[in-house]
Every structure is written in structure tokens, then in C-alpha cells.
Structure 1
């Protein structure tokens, strides 16, 4: 009887592996990539004591340690070993993000993973594998996008290291990234990526303003530079969110009987208008005027702004009305509400 049960369990496992082979192989590749990084990290203290490491690198690592301590001790984010180790990317990209959307609707393609839930994006440590899956989605007429990832959270599955490419960011942007990712490891709701990313973006930005103010004061150069950068970011993302509403209206107006070529024509015209509208905006940093020179935006691109910023105004209203502009109370309230 025991042997029959054992064989039955074994057959069931084999069947499940066959049916989910693509997910299994993807999980193996991701685990392999993550472990490769984990096993090649160095303790931060060791890096800071290494005479061969540039002072500029050490300075940025110290900023991360300060932002990390601030996030734990002042903001009340969950304490962890994250960003206590360092991984040298040697100038290469460690992780790539693939996302996709329907061609005539701002509706993301989603991937489902056991235990973790559904995600509107997929990470790859191997760019060629990302490109292969991108081509498969293209063949199904999805709008697709691949972009490098500057940082990510493993949500407690492993200790997240400092990536050397992070250090290319200015101080404010670097602190924001760390607080953003530590928010994910503090609060992450399964199957609600849009809320998770909007919340992490909100806390990352608000937390950085508080961090720089505490460290330097509002009259400091570092604080002023971050505020200007945030003004530019807000101007651009508001324009992109406006663009998503215009695209939504266009797609709703297109009849199901319209040909794909006619739909594509109207879509192309509207995206041209969106791209040209950037020249009408004011930015402190002129790089925003060249943002589309590297490629034409599509639905997958616009969906990223919905994913990270569409709930920003709602969170701001809640922050002001219910938590009296107190970020610590806001974070505590979010943790209690979703526990």
C-alpha cells in the first residue's frame, strides 16, 4: 500500500512538473542568478576598509547606510540585513524587466507565480531569455518593453545587496531607491502590484525629503537639488498620466469593427502628439526633452506610469487628511491596516 501511495505521489509530481515546466525552468534560472549575486557579495564593512576601493564609492555606500538607518530608526520600516553587502556589477546590468500590454487597451499582460501571485512584469538575469519571451509576446501582438533594473527587493527571500550601478545616482535619488525598496520588504500585498509600487514610490519620495532635511537642512545644496529633480519628475509623470487618460479615451472610442490598421493609425497620431507635448513643458534638467530619442513609447511604457504613480494623489490626500502630514504615522497606519 505504501509503495502504491509513493508511486502515486511521484507520478503526480512528475505531471505537475511537466504542466508547469516553463515556470519551473524560469524559477531555476532566477534562483541561479540571484544566488550568483549573493555568493559574490562582500560585507559593507570589508569594502569600506579596502584601500583599493575608490573614496567616491565608499562615500556613496556610506550614504546608503545612512538612508538605511534612517528608514529603520526614523521611518519605522522593517529592519533587515538588506544593503549590508555589496555586489560589483563591473558596469554591466544585473537584471532586466520585461512588461507587456494589449495593443489597443492599457491592460497589462500578467505572469502568475506560485506563492507570490500575479505580476505585470517579469525579471530576467539573462537578457537573451528576456528577448526570447519578448519576441513571443510580440507575435501575439502585445506592446512590449524591456528595461534595465536599478534595484529590486526579494521580499525577504534573501538579503538584498547594494549594487555597484546604484552608486551612479546622486545622493537624493540613491536614498529614494533604498527607502523605496525597503518599503517593499516592509509591506507587500499579494496580487496588488499597483498599490505596492505606488505606496513604495510615495514613501520613497517623502522619506527622502525628510532624510535630506534632517541631514543637511532645507537650505542645503543636496536638498535643493533633490527638490528640483522631483519637480521635473512630477511634471513629466503627470504628463504621462494625462497621456494614459487620452489613450484610454481613444481606445474606448475605437469600435470593435474597426480594422487593426485603422486603430494603429489613430494610436500612432496620438502618441506623436504626446511625444511633441514634451517641448511645451518646463524642466530644470534638459534631459527630459530628449527622453524619447532612444525609442518610441508604447502601451507597455505608459502602463509603467500607471503602475508607479496613478494613486499618488489619493495617497497624498490620505497623508494630509488622515495622518496630518506625518510620514511615520502614515507608515504605521499602512502597516496596521494591511496586517
Structure 2
């Protein structure tokens, strides 16, 4: 008897046909190889997925994986029921990729700038990084950008979003996270399916980060926290580390936009980054030797490292203030974010600046 192809695979292969046709149009373009690896990588990922319930019921599935998948299933339901995030097939299938990350991102900036070089693609517009399914390909691209004089940062990413075009699966790369961080990751990725602005990575990532923070807070309130003190300590460390990096970002921005010569800017950049390392060592002592952020300094950070963090976090206080002004009601918050998303970039940034300023003077607005 002929095996029937699952409907989900039929839909994805139909999409693949469209993308391959598009690649034919791009055959004279250097982007062709990049699009091809993206399509191939995603199809390989999809070929390994199984329904979460099937994996949970499989006697061969390790108990630790069963527990995490059961938890992720509950979080997925909570996301739609309590947070108003999309109710679709995303995160209802599971794949073990046999590697620690789903993709590797490359951020590159000019030597004397914190502005990431944008990569522009069909469907998603321009983003502040370039992702690869192969770590080797990511490092080859980073090496080429470095040879051209850029600061570069390559980092592994446990998840990525297709923005609702396809059903994103749960991955083995999620399962090493703490329970709270697993919730944050799922809520963050689903938020990208709710509101997304082409060409504005800082807006998109800060919005999704604000949703993950609020969503995790609400998850803990409903389900309790097996280790509330540990979570509080983790959040405090995260905030202190982000503050440390933000301070260095501010220093470097002043250096790069100042009137000094490029040679002097290079010297002052080096000193600022050395001070960052020194301040981090002092912070670790306050933490009793906690080393959870050591990977940020191997290799030593540069513009691209700092730019990647800024993309995710610099606008979070503005979104937190917006949520506060909507009486912490998520439907109103999402509607207000959609209105911001419709604005021209300059006006949208001005509104976010104003929100951020109000938040700085409003103790009730917390992150």
C-alpha cells in the first residue's frame, strides 16, 4: 500500500517549490547560495519533526525529555489562552537536531560604529544579522566580514521564527534551558508571529523580549516557582550584566560620534573594552564567582557583541512603559504596539523615546 504524504509536509514542499522558483530568478545574484542553505536547512529540520504527544508517548524517549516536552506543551497552551499569542500549530511538533543550536547568527559592524550592517531578504525585510544553519558557513561569512575590516560576532541560537509562514517546532536546543527560560523562549518566538515590522530588528526583538518577560512573570504567578530565590537572583544578574554592557555602549557611542581622529577613537575604543572586562570581573566577585556570562568574553567583545544585545534590550523599557499605560492588559498593549508598527520609522522611534522617558520617571513601570 502506498504511504500517504502528511498534509504538513505537502504544504511545506509546495512552499519549497515557490522558493526554488524564486531562486531561479535570483540565479545571477550572490544571495542564491544563502537562500538555498536556508531552504535546505529548514526542510532538514522539518523532516525530523514528530508530534509532541507522539514523542512523549514513545517509551524510548528519556524521562527528562518527556518532562520538558510536557512542560512546553503546557506553556504553549498558556501562551494562547492567557497571553493572547497566536493559536496555531507552532511548537506542537518536536525535532532532535543532534546539535546544540538551531542556527548560528553573524552580526557585523563597521570598526568605529555600533550600527549593525543590515541583511535584506524576501518575506522578512532587513534584519541586523545573518543566520546560517551551518556553523562552518557562519564562520566563513564572519571571516570575510572581518577581513573587510568589520567587528564580527558569531553566536548560536536555539530557536528562530518563520513569523507564522510555517509551523515552528520545538527543538532539542530548547531543553537545556531552565523552566522559566523555556517559557520565555516560547513566548518570545510566538510574539514575533503577532507583530513584526520589516526592517526594524530593534522594534521586533524588544517587543518580543517584553512579551517574554511579562509572559514568564504571569506563568510563575499561576504555576508557582519551584525556586523563586534562584529565579530572582538570575534576573538580578541579567539586569546587572545588561546595565554593564549598556554603559559601555554609551561610552562607545560618545567616542564614535565625537570629533577625535580615527586613530584616537581606536585607542579609546580599546580602553573602553578593557574597562568592560575589568568591570565584569568585579561584578563576578559580587556574584560569588558566578561564571554564566563568561562566554561573552571568549573571544573578547567588540562593537558587534554590544550591538547584538542592544537590538534585543534597548527598547524594552519603552514597551514595558506602554504595557503599564495600558493597565497591564495585553489585548490593549498588542493593539497599541500594532499602531506603533504602522508609523514611519522616525515617528515610531520618537514615540518609543517618549515612552522610555516616561518610564524612567515612573517607578511603577518595571521590567
Q: TM-score, structure 2 length as denominator? A: 0.81
Q: CA deviation at 1:197?
A: 0.1
Q: CA deviation at 1:337?
A: 5.3
Quote the Cα distance in structure 2 between the aligned partners of 1:121 and 1:37.
21
Superposed CA offset, 1:293-319 (max 9, x none): 522001000001210010122222222
Residue in structure 1 matched with residue 352 of structure 2 by the alignment? none
Quote the Cα distance in structure 2 between the aligned partners of 1:14 and 1:45.
36
TM-aligned CA distance change 1:229 to 1:167, over 3 Å: same
TM-aligned CA distance change 1:36 to 1:76, over 3 Å: same
Written as runs of structure 1 = structure 2, the 5 A alignment for 1:175-324 is: 175-216=183-224, 220-253=225-258, 255=260, 257-259=261-263, 262-281=264-283, 282-283=286-287, 286-288=290-292, 290-320=294-324, 322-324=325-327
Quote the Cα distance in structure 1 between the aligned partners of 2:258 and 2:23.
48
Between the two proteins, the alignment pairs up a number of residues equal to 319
Superposed CA offset, 1:191-238 (max 9, x none): 11100000101110111010111012xxx4344433321121111111
Runs of 4+ in 1 over 6 A off after TM superposition: none
The alignment partner of 1:241 has SS state of helix
Quote the Cα distance in structure 2 between the aligned partners of 1:263 and 1:208.
41
State yes or no: 1:17 paired with 2:20. no
Residue in structure 2 matched with residue 117 of structure 1 by the alignment? 125
Quote the Cα distance in structure 1 between the aligned partners of 2:329 and 2:62.
38
- Asked if 1 retains the 8 angstrom alpha-carbon contact of 2:255 and 2:265, the reply is no
Task: Point out the more displaced range, 105-114 or 87-96.
Answer: 87-96
- Asked if 1 retains the 8 angstrom alpha-carbon contact of 2:146 and 2:152, the reply is yes
Question: Where does structure 2 lack aligned partners over 5 or more consecutive residues?
Answer: 1-21, 343-367
Superposed CA offset, 1:252-279 (max 9, x none): 2253x443xx433221111000111123
Quote the Cα distance in structure 2 between the aligned partners of 1:79 and 1:198.
22
Q: CA deviation at 1:14?
A: 10
Q: TM-score, structure 1 length as denominator? A: 0.88
State yes or no: 1:325 paired with 2:333. no
Quote the Cα distance in structure 1 between the aligned partners of 2:288 and 2:235.
10
Higher relative contact order (CA 8 A, sep 6+): 1
Residue in structure 2 matched with residue 334 of structure 1 by the alignment? 337
Q: CA deviation at 1:285?
A: 7.5
The alignment partner of 1:70 has SS state of helix
Select the residue among 130, 135, 146 that pairs with 1:127. Answer: 135
- Asked if 1 retains the 8 angstrom alpha-carbon contact of 2:83 and 2:330, the reply is yes
Residue in structure 2 matched with residue 7 of structure 1 by the alignment? none
Quote the Cα distance in structure 2 between the aligned partners of 1:126 and 1:194.
25
- Asked if 1 retains the 8 angstrom alpha-carbon contact of 2:210 and 2:319, the reply is yes
TM-aligned CA distance change 1:289 to 1:98, over 3 Å: closer
Residue in structure 2 matched with residue 46 of structure 1 by the alignment? 54
